[in-house]
Structure 1
Amino acid sequence: MKLKTLSLSVAMGLGLATAVNAADAQIRFDGFPDFDSSLKVLLPEFEKETGIKVDYLMNNHGDHHTKLTTNLATGSGAGDVIVVDVEKIGPFVASGGLVNLSEKYGADKYAESFAPYAWEQGKGGDGDVYGMPVDLGPGVMYYRTDIFEKAGIKLEDAIKDWDSYIAAGKTLKEQNVQLIASAADVAQAIIFTTVPEGEGLYFDKDGNPVVTSERFVHAFTVAKEIRDSGLDARITAWSNEWYEGFRNGTFATQLSGAWLLGHLNNWIAPDTAGSWGVSHLPDGIYGSWGGSFLSIPTQSANPDEAWKLIEYMTTKRDVQLKHFETIAAFPANVTTYDDPMFEEGIEFLGGQQARLLFADVAKNIKPVAPAKGDHVARSIILENALMEVLDEGKDIKAALADAERLIKRRTRNL
């Protein structure tokens, strides 16, 4: 490769150093599945256009972010481009370990091309951008059309409100099918999608926790009713049981982000193609369920090359669409939304024009600013307090009051 570059450059006269440097440039992309499926499709053209070689390192979602937390704290070990989940972007930006993309690369010039709520989430407290949105997670409900039909359940009735969703679950139970993998997913949906204006997921604008508010009481109450009625399978997401549940029809619905389609189709349950549909979330709620950002750690030795890859993956319309087509990662770039691709039927979903639904949800999501204590509060609320209510029968208001005290203590020095 170097010999070919050398002879070509000599023949051209000038530009030797540039050609050699381009040929030698190599960066690493750190992410989690199913990004690898997308990169296999996207990288060949990028490498051809730029001469930058890209390796990638994939870990499961949790391990990836745990590793990055250590990498950013120690100043070593991270890739040149890193994927950051929306749940982690706030604390990662606050850590000071990410490159200021506004200051160094003029990222703000792209602001109008992105969903406003996602663009805000990638900013730091200084108003500058540290994470470029690469995909969104419009919140939706996947459901088994065959199971609904057999049970005589009409979709529009099932999603009218939470009472009707639970009623559908009781009908499904008579067919020996659970309503959902875990009641906790319902609590998460309500918490994430019913945020009052000017409030964050877990904190108000002054940094005070709001976890004892009616939003959280309501979320816990609905989830508890589902659990107490025996309507959930008590299966944790991303477990082997969860995967088997999708394959075997153990549960009939799953509240998630649009991105779940890619996982179901590509590796979790490809043999169930044609048995699924997707709808808006129950109770008429709109919200984000996930979403990813691309950032550059300050420790990167190749930030300029890293920025070229980030620009390629986030600002190029055709690349965003290919990312969407490959792994159902909904585009963060709104300039894609008028593409004819959105009207295509999705084979896995029985020909449903699901991308139009995803776009409708995305357009109706209101911005919720991330807080640096979100990751702490999320763990305390969804992994501790909610489980105490669902598994141990703890009083809801008592669990939330205890969680509030714990959140205050653990975020005091953030």
Structure 2
Amino acid sequence: MKLKKFLSAALVVAMTFSFASCGKKNQQTSAPANQPTKITVWSWSTAAKSLKVAAENYKKNHPNVEIEVVEMGTNDVYDKLTVGFASNEGLPDVVSIEDDHFKSFISKFPQAFADVTDAISSEKGNFLNSKIENLTVDGKIYGFPWDAAPSAMFYRIDIFEKAGVKPEEIKTWDDYIEAGKKVVKATGQKMIPISVGTDDGIYRELLNQLGTFYFDKDGKPVLNSEASLKAMGLIKKMYDEGLVYNNDSWDSLITATKNGTIASVPFGVWYVGSIMDQMPELKGKWGIMRMPAFEKGGNTAACLGGSNLMVTNASKNKDIAIDFAKFAMTDKETQLTMFKQYGLFPSYTPLYSESVFDEPSEFFANQKIWKLFADVAKEIPPINFTNHFAETKELVVNAMAKTTLKGADLKTTMDELQKQVEERIK
């Protein structure tokens, strides 16, 4: 699932906060020009709305800079960028790009984005390492990290209690499976939703936990590796044990979450807003814990989503565009507004020391959920999406359906998948 689908739901997150002071702002970046200048920014949904706030804040110290934020659908942004990069016409100065789309664009259009290595150098260590690595190609950094999507396990406190399941005792995925059996037996509910025939989000989360992905660091597919077999094997095991609710759409997932058909959901931080917005009657019945590890003491951190702010080389005001993008991603007041009012979880780690991250959430049983997500975010292993992510994902989803719905042999299926991807990306 992609972050863009849920940004609007995240708006309600702001309702839970007693706004903390913004703390000391970052120093304002200096304006590269003193004459009237205009830059255009493309983004979508809630992200675009938050960039309008960034533009207003930037203009306080740069009154000669006009910033036009153009809001459009995510696919429209990508379609227009593709046409624009091909013709070198009609391009914005600044644009939002999701983590899983960046490598595809820069592979097709190597000169598309501005090298911001120097501009980000003073702040590089303040961003999540996993985000910086994704934006780095041949030692150069091509964007400013924006929102992160650390994953955790959302769970129904009341359903767990009814089944005699204690969340603090779930340390590994084996523990989780045993807990799931108790839930199914005691309540008749399913333990976990997985879109076994339409999306592989859980598989990618599990791969990320294991420090791998579809591809290794050199871009070679590793879909029949030991780690990949572990990840897909876990999904198959949970399905075969009768723990899985097969949701075939976002609406069916929301319905199942709302009516108690499922006891837990391993998802990104953006699901906080979805739960609070669409099921307020469940206040106090949801808890959040770290994802289980594959072995005791193993990694529990993963992510599912995220985006960045890029500057195009086509910009006629590149210095100003870079200055604005850096400001938007590093100014504390702006970033806190993006988080509190628009639900965009920051990649800029100095914000994690702000008091809002230490406040309990009344909705989530007074847990300090933002601290939990901040701690997870700092531990997320990097992901190498490569320019073949989209086409490979389609093949992975088909393989997942074969091993679960059709009961195909795991090793055989993953070997076939490996060959398919190798052939596809030749």
Same fold (TM over 0.5): yes
- Alignment of 1:143 onto 2:158: no
Q: Counterpart in 2 of 1:325?
A: 340
2:179 to 160, 168, 173: 168
- Contact in 2 for aligned 1:261/1:327 (Cα 8 Å): no
Gaps of 5+ in 1: 1-16
Question: Could you tell me which amino acid in structure 2 is paired with residue 161 of structure 1?
Answer: T
Secondary structure at 2:69 match in 1: strand
Q: Counterpart in 1 of 2:404?
A: 390
Spell out the pairing of 1:145-294 with structure 2 (5 A cutoff): 145-157=157-169, 159-174=170-185, 175-182=187-194, 184-195=200-211, 200-236=212-248, 239-265=250-276, 267-283=277-293, 284=298, 285-294=300-309
Question: Could you tell me which amino acid in structure 2 is paired with residue 269 of structure 1?
Answer: M
> What is the Cα deviation at residue 168 of structure 1?
2.1
1:228-264 deviation per Cα after TM superposition (whole angstroms, max 9, x unaligned) = 2332221146x22122223222212111222322343
Spell out the pairing of 1:319-398 with structure 2 (5 A cutoff): 319-381=334-396, 383-398=397-412
Say if 1:102 and 1:188 are closer, same or farther in 2 by CA, change over 3 A. closer
1:157-199 deviation per Cα after TM superposition (whole angstroms, max 9, x unaligned) = 3x3222221222222223132212216544332112102xxxx
Say if 1:296 and 1:262 are closer, same or farther in 2 by CA, change over 3 A. farther
Secondary structure at 2:154 match in 1: strand
1:341-391 deviation per Cα after TM superposition (whole angstroms, max 9, x unaligned) = 22111233222111221122122233344433334333322x221122222
> What is the Cα deviation at residue 299 of structure 1?
4.1
Secondary structure at 1:109 match in 2: coil
Say if 1:68 and 1:391 are closer, same or farther in 2 by CA, change over 3 A. farther
Question: Could you tell me which amino acid in structure 2 is paired with residue 140 of structure 1?
Answer: A
Q: Counterpart in 1 of 2:119?
A: 106
Q: Counterpart in 1 of 2:25?
A: none
1:15-68 deviation per Cα after TM superposition (whole angstroms, max 9, x unaligned) = xx956x25xx3523223x4425644654543455444233332425x6655665
Question: Could you tell me which amino acid in structure 2 is paired with residue 264 of structure 1?
Answer: I
- Contact in 2 for aligned 1:89/1:131 (Cα 8 Å): no
> How far apart, in 2, do the equivalents of 1:75 and 1:392 lie?
47
Q: Counterpart in 1 of 2:9?
A: none
- Contact in 2 for aligned 1:72/1:297 (Cα 8 Å): no
Q: Counterpart in 1 of 2:104?
A: 91
- Alignment of 1:409 onto 2:423: yes
Say if 1:42 and 1:264 are closer, same or farther in 2 by CA, change over 3 A. farther
Spell out the pairing of 1:3-14 with structure 2 (5 A cutoff): none
Gaps of 5+ in 2: 1-32
- More displaced stretch, 336-345 vs 106-115: 106-115
> How far apart, in 1, do the equivalents of 2:416 and 2:81 lie?
30
Secondary structure at 2:141 match in 1: coil
1:128-156 deviation per Cα after TM superposition (whole angstroms, max 9, x unaligned) = 11121112222211112232223332112
Question: Could you tell me which amino acid in structure 1 is paired with residue 69 of structure 2?
Answer: D
> What is the Cα deviation at residue 221 of structure 1?
1.4
> What is the Cα deviation at residue 291 of structure 1?
2.0
Count of aligned pairs between the two proteins? 381
> How far apart, in 2, do the equivalents of 1:81 and 1:41 lie?
15
Query: Which has the larger share of helix?
Result: 1
Q: Percent same amino acid among aligned pairs?
A: 29
Q: Counterpart in 1 of 2:14?
A: none
More relative contact order, 1 or 2 (CA 8 Å, 6+ apart):
2
Q: Counterpart in 1 of 2:47?
A: 35
Q: Counterpart in 1 of 2:16?
A: none
Say if 1:408 and 1:69 are closer, same or farther in 2 by CA, change over 3 A. farther
> What is the Cα deviation at residue 279 of structure 1?
0.8
1:54 to 68, 73, 77: 68
For normalisation by structure 2, the TM-score amounts to 0.80
Q: Which has the larger radius of gyration?
A: 1
- Contact in 1 for aligned 2:98/2:306 (Cα 8 Å): yes
